[in-house]
Amino acid sequence: MNKFFKTIDAINIYLGKAVSFFLLLLVAVIVYEVFVRYVLNKPTIWAHEVSQMIYGAYVILLGGFLQQRKGHVNVEILTEHFSLRTRAVINCFTWLLFFAFCGVLFWKGCDLAWDSFVYRETDSTVFAPPLYPVKMMIPLGALLMFLQGVIHYIGDLRLAITGKKEEES
Amino acid sequence: MSIELITLLLFGSLILLLALGLPLAFVLGGVGVVGSCILWGDKGLYLVTSQAWGAMNKFTLLAIPLFIFMSMILERAGVADDLYTLMHRWMGPLRGGLAIGTVIICTIFAAMAGISGAATVSMGVIALPAMLKRGYSKTIAMGSVSGGGALGILIPPSVPMILYATLTGLSIGGLFAGGVLPGLLLACLFILYIGIRCYFQPEMGPALPPEERVSWREKLISLKAVILPIIIIIMVLGSIYAGICTATEASALGCVGAVVSAAVYRKLKWDLVKEACHRTAALTAMIVWILIGAYCFTAVYTGTGAHTLMEHLMMSIPGGKWAILITMQIIFFILGCMLDPAGIIMICTPVFVPVITSLGFDPLWFGVLFVMNMEMGYLTPPFGFNLFYMKAIAPAGTTMGDIYRSIVPFVILQGVGLIIVILFPQIALWLPKLTLS
Amino acid sequence: AQQSKDQKVYKWNIQSHLPAGSAAYKPLKEFFEQKINKLTEGRLQITFHPAGAMVPTKDIFAVCRKGTVDGATGSPIYWMTIVPVAAIAANCPLAFKTAQECLHFHFDLGFEQMMKDEHAKHNLVYFSERAYPTAMIGKKPVYKVEDLKGYKIRSSGAIAEMLNELGAATVMIPGTELYLAMQTGVVEGAHWGAARGALTMKLPEVAKYYIQPDFAVSATDCIIINKDSFEALPKDIRDILNKSLKERAYQRTVEYAQEEKDALDTMIKDYKVTVCTLDPASQKIMRTTAMKLWDKMAAKDAASAKAVAMLKAYLKELKYID
Ligand code: NA
Ligand code: NA
């Protein structure tokens, strides 16, 4: 079990770090477009769509990375008065919504990506890039976040049942 | 089920879940999922994915990571710190001077970005550590950033204004012009407040200790610290207004500018860029996942017929044109606590604007009032987005309670600004008349 | 029991691809929310939402196919890679000269039925919304094709390909940034519908030349309805929808032509816009360029080939092409 957790953690950390460099690519593409459009008066047909795609994959894949860092912000104005165990008990209920959200995003995201793949859907522009690679990032991103949430949830579950916080690994 | 009851259930569960400590993104998204499932069953669930795909395709959101990355580099390369050192030297004896400077920089930032989140997080990264390091209270430091950051949608360019204009048929240029003076008015109110409060309570924003004050010669020498940030600002603003590139593209140029200035500072190392990339990724994900959740929730609420609620409300308002106008502002304010501006525009404008026009009010002025009201929405709990952005960048140990407290005076000031523009419509209308004629 | 079943009230959500402020939105909303309600004696109650209210415009085809919304209005350009023949309806530049010709092609020559058949394969019922022109507004005049050289134009689809061939530099800029981009000169021209659309986007405030002829006259807007939702309706309501939507296409085309005229007058009078018309030689070059693109679309699948052949036969009859 712990090995499984460590694997998920590692995937989200390394993949997230790798994906975070997409930003440099994004800057490069946009600056290139501005350069060729303004200086050479020859805009590309691809830069706008490519930058949008980089951005799309970037944000959707980073959900798990952020969850690994427990970076999705919340309000603890009420819960800070509760004991850790009470908080864990509450989380065991409220986090079901997290699973509903990620689960649906994964399930319907597979649907969305599959349809797009079957028809080899492309953007309706002159450049016409295929859309399915980016659409496939939706179920992937949802899955990564879901699995990271499972780790978090099991931690809370243990704490709620045993009253003991698991050791930080 | 009536729309009144649905509203109560949806908003009630939002507040409850948020209070129980579930992260905001999952509160919004989760309630969206459950809501769409109850309302439309299995086929309704696809809406959630569709909204996520929509968020991945919003061009205006590209500015978020770009602005954050620019600020990260400026902060890590020490440019930001030098800027604040300089500010502190120049405004040495002035209490609260750094927070005043922050509001001014926010105002300039607002002229570069069309959305609020980008400016708030960027300024949080740059200004917050600099102010806290020099003994400013959290209240003043965080309040000035989240209040100043919200100016992004009032001072042009502004995405909500474009939305409002295309929905109501107003001139975009006119509405942009209408936002300028109210934006400056708010900035002035913030500055006055900070100045007065820190004058009487020096511990909120301490002046530079007398032994650290320097001669005019040294002040002038330290000016070289601002040359680079000023060049970046000129690059970004200039490229937008000179027609070289769009507002979103300009933020990419800002990134290049930031990297170049880090190189000039001899701080440009791979580790610095790497670290900036990772932190930018985390902050961007935080913002965009909240937006995905918010889009899902708003879509469900709109799909249940939120505009019907607005129609009911309109019919139950007592007569008198001022009563109607004020009620609308109150509705905006309440919705602003819960939804994002784009959602409120969708729900309210089709119902409100025809009424406003038939009462003989100027719809352009009403649009400016609306955007000013939305600025408050960015700060008002429970769902003020700027509050959550603050939480993500605030130093460890900052609680949501601290943040909620920090924004109170600024929300009041925004309210005062709103009332001033209601009483003196010329503040919003003078510039558009000038530019349109 | 049959009686009570027929009195059942059906509630639909339909989302438009048009923003609530656009001129074409209000008549659609009135039609779906009030007229249909009246015609069906309250048995079909539709809520008509503006663009983006429930689902992103870009995903409207999928959302409607899956039944998340019961119906949608859109431009078939969005899904022309999934339903290739849709490109012929929405994306054949310089084919028809008047909206009446376009309607004749759809409803009398059988193109509308082809569209219906192709969309039925995707669980959708298809209706053309109206035929209307697409024309460009820009910051520089265009009288000859040479004037297009280096012109930075916000464009998409086959029109963009045509403009590229003619030497223009086409740019893709999202609608929310279009006004500012035009104002500052990041782009110098754009087509957003024709005169009416340009006014909606406030482009005449910042661009003063209206370019003729129309790049296209086509049924670029359509209504798609989820087939399951449609077939769940009793036959008499389906008949009402079929009949009234067809009548509406004709009626709206006529009304819209008038709106276009009024809009152009407004542009000329209030915004001091100049109308530039390309000389006949240039128009001919433009059509030749466009026809190469028609052939490209015809190669996509059997239905597209048939549709383009139909189109060419009709245009020959009209003596527009040889
Ligand atoms: Na702005
Ligand atoms: Na709020």
- B333 alpha carbon, closest ligand: 2
Indicate the helix (H) or strand (E) that contains C217: strand C209-226
Question: How many CA within 13 A on the CB side of residue C233?
Answer: 23
Cβ of C59 within 8 Å of Cβ of B240? The answer is no
pLDDT exceeds cutoff 50 at B236: yes
Q: What is the pLDDT of residues B343-366, one digit of tens each?
A: 888 888 878 888 888 888 999 999
In a domain, B22, yes or no: no
**Residues B307, B345: Cα–Cα separation, whole Å:** 11
In a domain, B193, yes or no: yes
**Predicted pLDDT of residue B199:** 92
Q: Which residues are CB-contacts of C11 (< 8 A; sequence separation ≥ 6)? A: C45, C46, C47
In a domain, B47, yes or no: no
Q: Is the dihedral of CA B218, B221, B227, B228 positive or negative?
A: negative
Q: What is the pLDDT of residues C211-268, one digit of tens each?
A: 999 999 998 899 999 999 999 999 999 999 999 999 999 999 999 999 999 999 999 9
**Predicted pLDDT of residue B89:** 83
- Chain B residues in contact with A27 by the CB 8 A cut-off are 66, 69, 252, 255-256
For residue A58, how many other CB atoms are within 10 A of its CB? Answer: 26
**Residues B193, C255: Cα–Cα separation, whole Å:** 56
Tell me the pLDDT band of B437, cut-offs 50, 70 and 90.
low
Cα angle for residues C66, C69, C70 (degrees, 5° grid): 90
Question: What token pair was written down for B253?
Answer: 């140029």
Q: Please tell me if residue A54 touches chain B, with a CB cutoff of 8 Å.
A: no
Q: Which structural domain range is residue B220 located in? A: 60-268+371-436
In a domain, B215, yes or no: yes
Which chains reach chain C with 3 or more Cβ–Cβ distances below 8 angstroms?
A, B
Question: What token pair was written down for B349?
Answer: 């404008």
Mean pLDDT of A99-104: 97
Distance A38 CA to ligand 1 centre (A): 23
pTM of the model: 0.90
Q: How far is A164 from chain C (nearest CA, A)?
A: 45
Between these two residues, B225 and C122, which has the higher pLDDT value?
A: C122
Q: How far is B239 from chain C (nearest CA, A)?
A: 10
Q: Which residues are CB-contacts of C140 (< 8 A; sequence separation ≥ 6)? A: C147, C151, C188, C189, C209
Which segment of C17-26, C37-46, C129-138, C282-291 scores lowest on mean pLDDT?
C17-26
**Predicted pLDDT of residue A101:** 97
Distance B247 CA to ligand 1 centre (A): 9
Tell me the pLDDT band of A141, cut-offs 50, 70 and 90.
very high
Between these two residues, B28 and B306, which has the higher pLDDT value?
A: B28
pLDDT exceeds cutoff 70 at C38: yes
Mean pLDDT of B25-34: 95
pLDDT exceeds cutoff 70 at A5: yes
**Predicted pLDDT of residue A169:** 43
- Chain C residues in contact with B342 by the CB 8 A cut-off are 52
**Residues B245, B238: Cα–Cα separation, whole Å:** 9
Tell me the pLDDT band of C85, cut-offs 50, 70 and 90.
very high
Mean pLDDT of A27-31: 96
- Chain B residues in contact with C53 by the CB 8 A cut-off are 299, 302-303, 346
Cα angle for residues C179, C185, C189 (degrees, 5° grid): 70
pLDDT exceeds cutoff 80 at B319: no
**Residues C295, C36: Cα–Cα separation, whole Å:** 40
Which chains reach chain B with 3 or more Cβ–Cβ distances below 8 angstroms?
A, C
Q: Which of C82, C169, C172 sits opposite A125 (nearest CB)?
A: C172
Tell me the pLDDT band of B77, cut-offs 50, 70 and 90.
confident
In a domain, B218, yes or no: yes
Percentage of residues in chain C having pLDDT higher than 90 = 73
In a domain, B180, yes or no: yes
Tell me the pLDDT band of C281, cut-offs 50, 70 and 90.
very high
Mean pLDDT of B417-429: 95
**Residues C81, B78: Cα–Cα separation, whole Å:** 50
Question: What token pair was written down for A125?
Answer: 């522009």
Mean pLDDT of C113-137: 95
- B382 alpha carbon, closest ligand: 2
What's the mean pLDDT when you consider all of chain C? 91
pLDDT exceeds cutoff 70 at B375: yes
Q: What is the pLDDT of residues A42-60, one digit of tens each?
A: 888 899 889 999 999 999 9
Tell me the pLDDT band of C5, cut-offs 50, 70 and 90.
low
Nearest-by-CA chain A residue for C59: A112
Mean pLDDT of B246-266: 88
Q: What is the pLDDT of residues A104-133, one digit of tens each?
A: 999 999 999 999 999 899 887 778 899 999
**Predicted pLDDT of residue B339:** 84
In a domain, B383, yes or no: yes
pLDDT exceeds cutoff 70 at B183: yes
pLDDT exceeds cutoff 60 at B300: yes
What's the mean pLDDT when you consider all of chain B? 88
For chain B, what is the domain count? 1
Cβ of A76 within 8 Å of Cβ of B50? The answer is no
Nearest-by-CA chain C residue for B164: C21
**Predicted pLDDT of residue B305:** 80
Percentage of residues in chain B having pLDDT higher than 90 = 40
Q: Which of C79, C81, C170 sits opposite A45 (nearest CB)?
A: C170
Nearest-by-CA chain C residue for A33: C171
Tell me the pLDDT band of C1, cut-offs 50, 70 and 90.
very low
Long-range CB pairs of C41-44 (<8 Å, 24+ gap) are C42/C9, C43/C6, C43/C7, C43/C8, C43/C9, C43/C10, C43/C234, C43/C237, C44/C9, C44/C10, C44/C12, C44/C233, C44/C237, C44/C241
Cβ of A126 within 8 Å of Cβ of C156? The answer is yes
Percentage of residues in chain C having pLDDT higher than 70 = 98
Distance B387 CA to ligand 2 centre (A): 9
Select the residue from B20, B235, B398, B406 to test the A interface by mutation, using most A Cβ atoms within 10 A.
B20
Q: What is the pLDDT of residues C206-216, one digit of tens each?
A: 999 999 999 99
Residues counted in chain A: 169
In a domain, B391, yes or no: yes
